[in-house]
Chains A and B, each alone.
Chain A
């Protein structure tokens, strides 16, 4: 009897191991987290981004611009998931589904002026209060001219 129970548990464990892996974001630790690209420590959590690699490692970024530079340099093959903070409520959101707003006068840690939101409505609401901007999707970020603009 004990042998059968052991076999069932083992099979269960193997099946769980074979299931789709989820890549969850982790919290930022300001004491030790630095941006993978520019080396700045992460003190403005509301702009931070992170990539969860398929091997379980995390790469942390202080600004969406640095995250995009990492993707440009390393490609997306090893990326399990990528997250950015929602400027509206400081929650992690999937960068592939996020809505972005650009305005050169929006302050961000690297001063790229691109903010992320979970929905278009949140982005519109932000623009109503903080000044109009240009709405962007993830695909637009791939060709975006990162840097400060006069």
Chain B
């Protein structure tokens, strides 16, 4: 009986072999324009090529894999191609699209790859609801989750990406919408270079080296994202280098080494964001006068802001370490808030000083700064600091289970204590 059980188990574990009866490449080659190819469940080895307008739809349990360095699926010089519901494993690249138009990649799971999805010189591409998981090696030794080069009109939405170099890498792209994605445990969550017309909305970036890296890019909107727990030696929540015309609005930057850093950037508006528990909330070097930081909430940060001698404009923000009062009753402090601190400025020049943050000597220095810098009039000064936070108050509530457990423990303690007293 036991032997029969082992015999049946053997077939159970070996039933996931390639589905020999179905030839995917043959089906693609035979398909007519607009045909839907339904791929039956099973594992298929090969390097598949699509060059015509078709829909590839996998049944539950379809896996394509390759043991060589060529992409598992390549879409080339084709329009109106759609690929849905398949799993891909590859030694190198999962899916490569070159000069494709009206391409949709949906519900694809790409695992153990160097590069998940690679799009080049394409237009009107939608990459939706996919999952990309890289291999276990260091991020310097692997590629990007989703990479888009020299393309136009791209939507990357609701993807989950982890353990890759850059979750979403975008280079020389016009009009791109990155929305509701989740990227974690990678080098950069999303990395833009030389792009324009960029929207980054409702994404979550967690535990990467840097959440958002924006370089040489113009015309951006970055709104409603959660950027949290980027606290390596060189980490940033959001770093903008040589970037122009950006609106950064209603994001949450929590527990990062630096929440937002601006370098060599101009016409940047940072508005209505929450900066909580960052080592440094804001850092700016070579920021132009046209940039403004207004109506944000700064709570629980070790340093609110640091900059080079140019500084940047702070207007109507709430600071939890502001100690002024509001005699006029207009909701704004009567004396300016001065964010400048000697130690903060030194950290800009020598990042290694970050290891001394919150040390006793730095605390004394910062306290002295707060007294001396009250006369500062230009650098990192907010003349209208808000006195009330816009953060929602949590409604009073009682957790009945916790209350009950607390009562029982207290009563038991009291009972044991009384019993002990009698003895």
Contacts and interface: CB of A to CB of B under 8 A. Distances in A.
Contacts of B213: 40
A32 B233 contact: yes
A30 B138 contact: yes
Nearest to A150: B172
B249 to A, nearest CB: 23
A32 B241 CA distance: 19
Given A43-B165, A43-B187, A148-B172, A38 B241 contact: yes
Interface in A31-56: 31-32, 34, 38-43, 45
Of A31, A41, A45, chain B has the most CB atoms within 10 Å of the CB of A41
B10 to A, nearest CB: 44
B177 interface: no
Interface string A18-40: 00000000000011101000111
Contacts of A38: 215, 241-242
Nearest to B215: A38
The SS class assigned to the A binding surface is: loop
B133 interface: no
Nearest to B171: A111
B140 interface: yes
B322 interface: no
B233 to A, nearest CB: 6
B194 A111 contact: yes
A110 B242 CA distance: 12
A41 B241 contact: no
A30 B139 CA distance: 9
Given A30-B139, A41-B209, A148-B172, 12 more contacts: A30-B140, A31-B138, A34-B234, A38-B242, A40-B215, A41-B140, A41-B234, A42-B140, A43-B165, A43-B187, A111-B171, A148-B194
Interface of A: 30-32, 34, 38-43, 45, 110-111, 148
